[in-house]
Structure 1
Amino acid sequence: MSAATTGAGSGQRILVTGAASGLGKALTEGFRARGDEVLTTDVADGADLRLDITSDDDWAAAVEHVERTWGGLDVLVNNAGVAGGGRLDVATLDEWQWITEINLFGAVRGTRAFVPMLKRQGSGRIVNVASLAGLVHPAGMASYNAVKAAVVALTETTGHELAAYGVTAHVVCPSYFRTNLMSSLRGHDTALATVMSKLVDESPTSAEDVATAVLEGLERGDEVILPDPAAQAAYGLKVADRAGYDAVMRAQAAKLDRLGEEGTL
C-alpha cells in the first residue's frame, strides 16, 4: 500500500504552498503532528522553499527539489491564494486578472507540474484549497466566486482524469475563518472589504479548526471537504431550498449596496 493511501502517522511526503502562515501553516503543523514529512513553500519568509505559484520556473524548481530529496510525492496541497472581489461595476479587469492568475492558475501550474511524477509512481493526492465561494456565490464577489468555482471544477476533473493512475483529488471549501488572508485583499470596492474583514474577524472558526477538519476529511477520502459548520449550513441551504438561498443572497446584495452608498453596516 502506498504512503498516500495509508492512515495517520504513515510518513507521507507532502508539499504545501502558502505554508508560512494561516491555513497553510496550520495544515503543516497537523501533518507533522501525525508523522508526515512536509516541504513548506511560500513567497514569504519562514518556509523551507521559496515558491511563487505564478512562476513556472519556481514550480520546476520545486519538482526538482522533491525528486532529489524524496524521490516522489504523496500529497500536493495547493493552498496559497489571495483575497479579492468587488461588485461588477466596481472591480476592475486588472483585479480580475490578478486574482485569476494567483487563485486559479496557481493551482493549475502546481497540478501540471506534479502530475507527471504522480502518474509515474501510480499514487498520490492533490488537495486544492478553494472556498465556500466555489459552491455558494454571494453578491459583490464575482471574481473570487468565479476563480474558486473554477478550482472546484479543476479538482473534480483532475480526480476523473487521474483515477486510472491511482491518484485522487480533493477540494477544500471553508467559509470565513480567522486568518491573515485579508492582508492580501486588493480592490476598489471598499464596501466589500469592510464586510469581508468583519466576517473574518468575527468568525468562530480558526485556521487550526479548518486544518483539523481537512485532515479528517482526507482520512475519510472525501472529495469535497466542507470543514466548518457555516460552510455546511450555507451549502446545505442552497441544495435543499434554492428559493430560500436566493432570497438570502439577494438580501446580502442589497445590504452591500446600502453600505456602498452610506458607509455603514
Structure 2
Amino acid sequence: MTDQPPQQQRVLITGAASGLGAALARAWEARGAEVLRTDRADGEGIVRLDIASDADWAAVLAYVERTWGGLDVLVNNAGIAGGGRLDVAGIDEWQRLVDINLLGAVRGTATFTPVFKRQGSGRVVNVASLAGLVHPAGMAGYNATKAAVVALTETTGHELAAHGVSAHVVCPSYFRTNLMAGVEGRDAALQQVMTKLVEDAPLGPDEIAAAVLDAIDAGTELIVPDDAARAAYQLKLTDRPSYDAVMRAQARKLDAVTE
C-alpha cells in the first residue's frame, strides 16, 4: 500500500489582478497551489468577477464546481479605498464602500459556505485593514466597513468551526500598492494624506503576503502582519488615553491640510 500524495490546495482570490491579491496568488502558487485569480479588471489569467454582482459570484461558483469540484481557500481580498470626514463624504460614498468592502466579502462567504459544509473543510480569508481595528479620523466609512469585515470573519469562524472550516482576517497597516489609484470621493485632503502614507510605506505586497501565509499556517485568526500595525493596535489595547491622543492629533493635522 502506497501513501497518496497530498491534494493540491485549490485557492480562489478576489482582486487578484494587482496589489496584495496578486502577491497572495504568487505566494500560494510558489507552494504548488492551484490558484483561481479573479478580478473586475480584465487581464491574462484572470477570471471576471465583480464582487458586488450576485450573478458573477454564481458564475464563479459554477466554474469552481466544474473545474475543481470544491475549494480549499476562499480569499476575499478585493476592496476599495475611500472615506472622508463626516461633513464632507456623501452617503453615496458610504454606500459604495459598504457594497464593495463589506457586502463583497459577505457574498463570497455566503456563496462558498455550502461547498465548505459539504466538504467538511475549508478556509475563509478576509482581507480587512488595520482600519478595522484602529480608527483614524477622516476615514469613518472605510473604518466602519473594515471593522465589519473583522466582525464578519469572527462570526464565520464560530459558525463554521463545527464543519471543519476556519476563518482568518488580515489587518495590515499601509503598504505600497496601487490601492489609491482608483479612489473616489469628495475629501481631497484625506486622499492626499492617504496617498502619501501608501507611497512612503516601508513594505510592499509580497512581504505582507508572505506574513499572511505564515500566519495562516500557524492557525492565527486575527492576522496583524506588520510591525506598524501591531504597534498601533497594541497601543489601543494597552494605553487607550495615549491612543486617543494620537488619533486626535492626526485629526487636527487633517483639518490643517485644508486651512
Instruction: Name the TM-score, length of structure 1 as normaliser.
Output: 0.94
Which residue of structure 2 aligns with residue 5 of structure 1? none
Q: Is the 8 A contact 1:10 1:36 kept in 2?
A: no
1:26-70 deviation line (CA, Å, top 9, x unaligned): 000000001100000001122431000000000001111010000
Which amino acid in 2 is paired with 1:17? T
1:159 aligned partner: 157
Q: Which runs of 4+ in 1 moved over 2 A?
A: none
Which residue is equivalent to 1:27?
24
Does the aligned pair in 2 maintain the 1:53–1:109 contact within 8 Å? Answer: yes
- Work out the CA distance in 2 between the residues paired with 1:85 and 1:31: 31
Q: Which of 73, 82, 85 in structure 2 is aligned with 1:84?
A: 82
1:259 matched residue in structure 2: 257
For the aligned residue pairs, the C-alpha RMSD in angstroms reads: 0.9
CA contact under 8 A between 1:10 and 1:35: conserved in structure 2?
A: no
- Is the CA contact (8 Å cut-off) linking 1:17 and 1:78 kept in structure 2? yes
Q: 2-side partners of 1:251 and 1:11: how far apart? A: 49
After TM superposition, the structure 1 = structure 2 runs for residues 88-167 of structure 1, keeping only pairs within 5 Å, are: 88-167=86-165
Secondary structure of 2:8's partner?
Answer: coil
Match of residue 3 from structure 1 = none
Out of 18, 26, 32, which is 2:15 matched to? 18
SS at match of 1:38: strand
Q: Distance in 2 between matches of 1:10 and 1:217?
A: 21
Partner residue in 2 for 1:181: 179
After superposition, what is the alpha-carbon deviation per residue over 1:107-160, rounded to whole angstroms, capped at 9, x for unaligned? 000000000010000000000000000000000000000000000000000000
| Partner residue in 2 for 1:42 | 39
Structure 1 letter corresponding to 2:11: I
Describe the superposition over 1:165-198 as per-residue Cα deviations: whole angstroms up to 9, x where unpaired. Answer: 0000000000000000001211110110010000
**Is residue 2:62 matched to residue 1:64?**
yes
Question: What are structure 1's unaligned runs of at least 5 residues?
Answer: 1-8
1:10 Cα deviation (Å)?
5.8
CA distance in 2, matches of 1:136, 1:35: 35
Report percent identity of matched pairs. Answer: 69
- Aligned residue in 2 for 1:193: 191
1:172 counterpart residue number: 170
User: Could you tell me which of 223, 226, 229 is aligned with 2:227?
Assistant: 229
What TM-score, normalized to structure 2? 0.96
